[in-house]
Structure 1
Amino acid sequence: MLGLMLPLAAQAQGDLATLDRDMAGPRSQVLVLGTMHLSQLPKTFNPAALDSVLNRLAAFKPDIITIESLPGEECDLAARQRAKYGADYCAPTDDAKAATGLDLTAAIAEVEQTLKTWPSQPTPAQRRHLAALFLAANDRPSAYVQWLHLPAAERRAGDGLNSVLVEKLTKIAANNNENYLIGSRLAVRLGLQRVYATDNHTGDNIMVADEKAFGRSVEAAWKAGGAALQAQDKQQDARALEADLLPLYRELNDPAGLRIRADGNVRAALRAKSPEGYPQMWVAGWEIRNLRMVANIRETFRERPGARVLSIVGATHKPWFDSWLGQLQGVDIVDVEAVLK
């Protein structure tokens, strides 16, 4: 029976790969940018080092920008399922709720309704109000987009933004985080109104009796099988404070370097021996996380055939994103090396 199933499986795979060969209409273009997590850099980091990277990405002209951040909908789910996900799954939105009168669920709905009727030339008051809604919906990067759209003189309290929320938005400007320094800044430069949070941790919430033993087992697997990755990380960390990070981003997205990253994380875990199978469980969670992130990205352009999409994500995710996004119908993966050239 197994011998009969294999050819059918191969045939089905081949059929799926060619289903969109004669599709009508434009194909969507997806560019996956692998990044380092800038939050790990010292506070002396100068965001201007990213200007060359932003220039290359702006030339791609994405219609949609996705980031590695938890969407409000998942925060809402986790808040309702605390027995499974814990009480500290997402940052609280109490301050924004106090300012707007909206809890997380209501704020998410209000954001979507507001964007449906968003004018081509919004007033500063409308931008301040939308920024407050985004904060209440646990979407700080999009709130920061609206904040940056405002002229400096209009970045003040009012229209739903109180002094507490203004302080939050002001502090974001000093936050070393690629979601803000690349995602939000680029969105404003391109005239976009938001970014899309597409991270997911519902599938890698590994349920084991001894969480500490699980962590030790996975870390031991990485240490034993990730010497090349550790050397690569050390070299890239040393270059992260250069005046121009374009060469580093080219390196972060180089296929040979990405293979080292995948090998040091996943292959090392798969090869590790564990009585409980902890490293292999971690790989399963990693795959589920990436699958659900890819599905979240797909949802952002579900109603927009032919969209140009930029997905900003930790470099370790990029091989999975390129592979799985590239299997979607009507979707082409853009060569990031050509964009960063």
Structure 2
Amino acid sequence: MKPTLSALFGLCLAALAAPAPAQASPNQAAPSQVDLAAVGQGFAGPRTQVAVLGSTHLSGLPKDYDLKALEPLLERLAAFKPDLIAIKAVSGEGCDHLSRYHELFDGEQAYLDRGDLLGLYRFLNAPQTQQAAIAADFGGNLRERSSERYGRQYVAWWEARNLRMAANLREAFGNRPGIRVLDIVGSSHKPYLDAYLRQMHDLEVLDVQALLAPGTR
């Protein structure tokens, strides 16, 4: 169907009404790359708030473990009042990789032994804990010296996996701008998802440590 003359005229008027792009002055250096952050300024409505919670695999707890220890954690997550809750599903390939490269935290078992699951989640989501785990796992694999560079292949797989997770999450709430989202993932996914989601124009990635802080409900 060919556009009508009135439709074309309307498009021309809309283009003329749009603000002209800023022009660099003769003495001002042209930008070396596109500033995506500037594009996201001044959008309509509130930001979509996303909280990414790094989790351990609770399915590994003993069958007689007292799950009442989860209540302080669940109370804080409920206080966030998420409109959408997303979780990670692990594929067969993912299970294989995780079984080979599962990160071990020295302090995790101590929290479990004393029934302090809220403390465990604060520990798992602490930047220093995640930095140490990533440096040991992915940093170590980047330095792996086999001729096939298996370590770098693993890191590439991991980054691609997290990119897919970020894309799936973005698509899940793309038609609901301004809502609150809680995304529960394995703890080693969290820093990657935080980094990728911060590149989205109208999102605010929340500090999960603040949600889990003492005295919050």
TM-score interval for Structure 1 and Structure 2 normalised by the shorter chain: 0.7 to 0.9
**Where does 1:30-179 land on structure 2 (aligned, <5 Å)?**
30-69=50-89
Q: Distance in 1 between matches of 2:121 and 2:46?
A: 29
Contact between 1:270 and 1:283, CA under 8 Å: does it hold in 2? yes
1:291 Cα offset (Å): 0.2
Please list every run of 5 or more consecutive structure 1 residues that lacks an aligned counterpart in the other structure: 1-6, 71-88, 91-200, 206-210
Give per-residue Cα distances to partners, 1:75-94, cap 9 Å, x unaligned. Answer: xxxxxxxxxxxxxx67xxxx
Contact between 2:111 and 2:119, CA under 8 Å: does it hold in 1? no
Q: 1:22 aligns with which of 32, 35, 42?
A: 42
Q: 1:305 aligns with which of 169, 177, 184?
A: 177
Q: Where does residue 168 of structure 2 map in the other structure? A: 296
**Where does 1:165-204 land on structure 2 (aligned, <5 Å)?**
none
Q: Distance in 2 between matches of 1:43 and 1:276?
A: 42
Which amino acid in 1 is paired with 2:66?
N
Q: 1:11 aligns with which of 33, 37, 43?
A: 33
TM-score normalised by the chain length of structure 2 = 0.77
Q: Secondary structure at the match of 1:240?
A: helix
Which amino acid in 2 is paired with 1:272?
E
1:9 Cα offset (Å): 8.4
1:241 Cα offset (Å): 3.5
Q: Distance in 1 between matches of 2:88 and 2:112?
A: 20
Give per-residue Cα distances to partners, 1:65-112, cap 9 Å, x unaligned. Answer: 000115xxxxxxxxxxxxxxxxxx67xxxxxxxxxxxxxxxxxxxxxx
Contact between 2:142 and 2:151, CA under 8 Å: does it hold in 1? yes
TM-score normalised by the chain length of structure 1 = 0.50
Q: Where does residue 314 of structure 1 map in the other structure? A: 186
Q: Where does residue 208 of structure 2 map in the other structure? A: 336
Give per-residue Cα distances to partners, 1:174-225, cap 9 Å, x unaligned. Answer: xxxxxxxxxxxxxxxxxxxxxxxxxxx6xx79xxxxx9xxx8xx96xx7xxx
Which amino acid in 2 is paired with 1:11?
Q
Aligned residues: 184
Q: 1:238 aligns with which of 89, 95, 110?
A: 110
With a CA cutoff of 8 Å and minimum separation of 6, indicate the structure with the bigger relative contact order: 2
Which amino acid in 1 is paired with 2:187?
A
Kindly, what percent of the aligned residue pairs are identical? Answer: 43
Which amino acid in 2 is paired with 1:286?
W
Q: Distance in 2 between matches of 1:269 and 1:42?
A: 32
Q: Secondary structure at the match of 1:234?
A: coil
Q: Distance in 1 between matches of 2:162 and 2:46?
A: 26
Q: Distance in 2 between matches of 1:40 and 1:47?
A: 13
Q: Secondary structure at the match of 1:44?
A: coil
Q: Distance in 2 between matches of 1:279 and 1:62?
A: 37
Q: Distance in 2 between matches of 1:69 and 1:22?
A: 35
For the aligned residues, what is the CA RMSD? 2.6
Contact between 2:48 and 2:178, CA under 8 Å: does it hold in 1? yes
Q: Where does residue 279 of structure 1 map in the other structure? A: 151
Q: Distance in 2 between matches of 1:10 and 1:16?
A: 13
Q: Distance in 1 between matches of 2:81 and 2:116?
A: 21
Stretches (4+) displaced over 3 A: 7-10
1:243 Cα offset (Å): 2.6
1:44 Cα offset (Å): 2.1
Q: Secondary structure at the match of 1:274?
A: coil
- Residues 50 and 9 (structure 1), Cα distance of their counterparts in 2 relative to 1, 3 Å cut: farther
Q: Which moved more, 1:243-252 or 1:327-336?
A: 243-252
Contact between 1:49 and 1:242, CA under 8 Å: does it hold in 2? no
Point out the structure with the larger helix share. Answer: 1
Q: Distance in 2 between matches of 1:311 and 1:24?
A: 24
Q: 2:133 aligns with which of 244, 261, 277?
A: 261
Which of 1 and 2 has greater Rg?
Answer: 2
